Chain A
Amino acid sequence: MRNDLQFLEEVDNYLSGSMNSSEKLAFENTINQNAELKEVFETQRDLIDAAKRKALLAEIESVAAGFHGTSWIAANAKWILSVLVVGAIAVSAIFIFSVEENNMASNSHEPLGDTTNKLVSGVNFDTNETEKISIPEGVTPVDNQEEEEPDFTFFPVSNDLSFFPTFREFNRLKFEDQSHSQVEESQVDYTVVQSKKINTKIYNRSASFPDGNLELKTFVNKNLKYPLEAASKNIEGNVKVDFIVDQEGNISEVTAQCFNLNKANGDFSEPFSAVQMFFNKKVSRAFEEEALRMMELMPIWTYATNNRGKAIVSEVRLYFDFNYPSETIVYQLEESTEKKEKFGGFKYE
């Protein structure tokens, strides 16, 4: 009896690894000499393993019980999350739209000519283009009230609905401008440089900086020196640069125009008035010169191609936003802004 108890403890010590090597050897010897002891040892070892396994399984099951208790949420977490995200996007989209439409509605207090100018310059209506064209001229849809209703509940501007020109009416005004421009442009001879309108439709690839727009930004910020005149007066400026990229990627016929100046004052800076612009001609010229210098430093560009993959001449417009003291931003607008400027009058020109 006493002997058996001792053996049991020895087995425990052996299995838990608390024996030193000589004790281990001695124990293994005694087991190997006695077949019955060996059997007892094996049974005890297996029993201990079984007990451990049982306890582990119990623990797993207790954890699992918690999982299966809340399994509906756990299993559908992905779906719930995605639904929430989609919902949030939808809500924010509705919100943004309502704000934009409201801006338009509030603009309509001013005389009509003025509002169209503001609209054209301030709001990006490129996305509405297809919608605009689909509406026949001269027709003013009547079912606008329903569309506009959410805006008024959001931002009650006025209760008198008939006072406002509707959103569609604005579109129609713009549409007239567009049709006008189409007629005019079709009379232009495109033999030398094709217009951008055709570029976007026919070409598969537009001209770009060799390694993409991000690289363009790093390239410019590496080489750009903020004009001293502007820095001393604490003025920021926006410059647009037009140039032509030929079939080999060479840049030619570069023109730069500084179309806006403002005080470097974070995001809340007001653009300069025409008078202020006039008195700061030197600064705007410095910006233009700096932009032109950048263009001289440019490497050979990736030329544009048509839908047959053939290299073609294309016109590119880059915008330089000189920010002081943060870094300068360079970007290319996806679509031409030419038309807006021609007929709407660009805000800063």
Chain B
Amino acid sequence: MTDKKIISLIRNGNRNRAIKELYGLYPKVKKGVLSNGGTEDDAREVFHDSLVLLIEKIEKPDFELTSKLSTFLYGINHFKWMNEMRKQQKSPETRWNDAIQVKAEEVDYDEERDELLKSLAKVLNTVSDKCKKIITLFYYQKKKMTEIAVELEFSSVNSAKTQKYKCMERAIKLGRELVKDKSEVSL
């Protein structure tokens, strides 16, 4: 499958097939991580994170294909794993087969933001299950509030909207505290 086809699949909301296709690149990444002091779980985690970054990047309207998707994915995997090794204060061996060395700017990788989003995801874990469902349906699957009200059996669209607002308000409050804590720690 060509890169263009994968991109169009992702843009048309058929992520599942695109992910299946991109998963064909996993063995190489796994080999790279394993030969650089990681475990299979590490490899899977790094690969999944990289897939997320790639798909997010493709979904942006201003995305342009500057290199092959496989190159991009290998590059970002390599970069992420090297970062991980640095964090664990191990000297990374640069025996990463078949990966073209890329810089952080090239793959558009913002480590700080990555960290922030990870901690915010933890915040989202603390909200109720119904909230999670609403947030996922509305923001990820891009469903309309009327559909969500029917699906989650709210009495009216307005009550669904109010529920969503309450969820987000709580999450925002927690998130802001978290960000403040972080900035205080770093100061």
Residues of A with C-beta under 8 A to B172: 40, 43-44, 47
A165 to B176, alpha carbons, bound, how many Å? 96
Query: A52 with B51: in contact, given A39-B176, A43-B175, A47-B171 (CB under 8 Å)?
Result: no
A99 interface residue per 8 A CB criterion: no
Main secondary structure of the interface of A (DSSP, over half): helix
Chain B residue contacts of A9, Cβ below 8 A = 161
- With A53-B56, A67-B23 in contact, do A59 and B15 touch (Cβ < 8 Å)? yes
Query: Which size bracket describes the interface of A in this complex?
Result: 20 to 34
Q: Is the CB of A52 within 8 A of B121?
A: no
Q: Which residue of A has the minimal Cβ distance to B26?
A: A67
Given A57-B52, A60-B51, A63-B20, answer yes or no on A4-B169 (Cβ-Cβ < 8 Å): yes
- The secondary-structure label for the interface of chain B is helix
* A273 shortest CB reach to chain B, Å: 60
Q: Which residue of A lies closest to B169 (CB)?
A: A4
Q: When each residue 241-274 of chain A gets 1 if its CB lies under 8 Å from chain B and 0 otherwise, what string results?
A: 0000000000000000000000000000000000
For chain B residues 138-155, which have a beta carbon within 8 Å of chain A? 139-142
> In residues 26-72 of chain A, which contact B (Cβ within 8 Å)?
39-40, 43-44, 46-57, 59-61, 63-64, 67
* Chain A: CB-nearest residue to B177: A43
| Partner of A53 from B26, B44, B121 at Cβ < 8 Å | B121
Q: How many residues of B contact A (CB 8 A)?
A: 39
CB contact between B55 and one of A50, A54, A56 (< 8 Å): that residue: A56
Q: What are 30 contact pairs spanning A and B, CB under 8 A?
A: A4-B169, A5-B161, A8-B168, A39-B176, A40-B172, A43-B172, A43-B179, A44-B168, A44-B172, A46-B113, A46-B116, A46-B175, A47-B168, A49-B120, A50-B121, A50-B123, A51-B139, A51-B140, A53-B117, A55-B136, A55-B139, A55-B140, A56-B140, A57-B48, A59-B19, A63-B19, A64-B48, A67-B20, A67-B23, A75-B27
